[in-house]
Amino acid sequence: MIAELEVLSALSDPTRWELLNEIADRGGSTATVLAVGRPVSRQAVVKHLGVLERAGLVTGRRAGREMRYVVRAERLDQTARWMAEAASRWDARLATIKELAENPDA
């Protein structure tokens, strides 16, 4: 569960969400390319990428002098499954509460 919370925390920042989507759309990218046209510096992009990497959402590999980042889809899949399971548990709890409220004698 802690890993899933790290993913959700990493994705809660709009800049990181945009970076992750751009990396996925491009099939991989470098911090230099990702910084182009953004209101933040390349160094800020590198810090955001570090958060995404620690959460397991991207992997960086050296490409010459720069790091090339790619999305780790399996991490997103794992978090989505965890969220679906949590939603299912809550649905069951809410159904029980509804049943008790509608049929207090049951």
Between 106 and 30, the higher pLDDT residue: 30
pLDDT at 5: 84
Alpha-carbon distance of 69 to 79, in angstroms, equals 20
Q: What structural domains and CATH numbers belong to the chain?
A: 2-102 (1.10.10.10)
Given a cut of 70, whether residue 106 has pLDDT beyond it is: no
**Is there a contact between 81 and 39 (Cβ–Cβ < 8 Å)?**
no
Please give the pLDDT value at position 21: 95
Note the pLDDT tens digit of each residue in 40-64.
999 999 999 999 999 999 999 998 8
Reported as a single tens digit per residue, the pLDDT across 52-95 is: 999 999 999 998 899 999 999 898 888 889 889 989 999 999 99
Calpha distance 67→101 (Å, rounded): 57
Q: Token pair of 79, please?
A: 């978090």
Q: Which two tokens stand for residue 91?
A: 């649905």
